Amino acid sequence: MPENYPSTINTDDLRYLSPILPAGEFVPIDLTNVPDPQLIEELDYEAVRIAMIADFQQRWPDFDALVESDPVIKLIEVAAYRETLLRARVNHAARSVLVAYAQKNDLDQLAAMVNVTRAKYENEDGQLILEDDARLRLRILLAWEGLAATGTTWAYVWHVYNFSPRVANVSVYSPFPGVVRIVPLMDEGDGQPTRDFLRSLRRYIKRDDIKNLTDMIQVRPPRFINFEIRAELVLYPGAGQTVVHANAMEAIKYYLNTNYRVGRDINRSSIMAALHQSGVSNVRLAEPKYNIVVKKNQIARCENITVNASIYETQ
């Protein structure tokens, strides 16, 4: 393999993304499956241009200079382009009032409608950190659960996210009747919460206006199941092999980031799918030998990634 192939990446760079669905059977509505409203139209500049030319010909039947160099055609093209931009602006405005698409201030306005505000905190350097859109979007979806008299999984999830913007993910489940166990994952380091944080969270959740009367609350740190990835990519011969390898490394990094969650399994098939980028003939996965199946209080943590590459040889 050429020396410029980055065969190993630093797992310290595997940062967590915005929180997604914690372990549990019930989940909020999947916004990716909600169709766009009919107000949003598919943009087609050429269709607008043709319609404008037809409209002009109807108003001036003697016009027959349809060559692109004609000044009238040029003016129509300018008008068609500007109308397309205007239609795009209408699409953008329509999406800005949808939870699935709204960003920044638009999303803040939608959050205010369900009595939610964007969280903020100061980091160790004194810099003000604002809650990102993805996390705020999830709290908007959970806001209705927060109105319940707890008891539901997502009601407790809602209160944990509200307690601290540093919580990246949380698993809530009942190991025994009457017991609610909360396992938070933090957004810094390896995600392990401190003892002080766990105690403070437990005191918060045990408030009379949050905890269900008959629930016994347990707040526990996540347990880690360590594994490594060792694989060989068989690449098709030709140019761009360094790029193919780099794309595969980025893809596996993204997969691990998005699945660094409490109660989230790591499957061999998903690892191979991430590595199998365009230009890859085959993926030979040596480690892990089996799927990493975790419990609701565990996190699959990748400690090392080594991906080598070889060139496919025809027989």
- CA–chain centroid gap for 288, Å, is 25
For range 280-307, the mean pLDDT? 95
CA distance 97 to 94: 6
CA distance 127 to 111: 24
pLDDT at position 44 over 90: yes
pLDDT value, residue 88: 93
**Burial (CB count <10 Å: 0-12, 13-18, 19+), residue 62:** exposed
3-state secondary structure of 197: helix
For 240, the token pair is 């761009």
Mean pLDDT of the chain: 86
Q: Which of 257, 277, 259 is nearest to 267 (CA)?
A: 259
Whether the pTM exceeds 0.85: the reply is no
CB 135 within 8 A of CB 161: yes
Phi and psi for 228 in degrees, rounded to 5?
-135, 160
For range 12-17, the mean pLDDT? 39
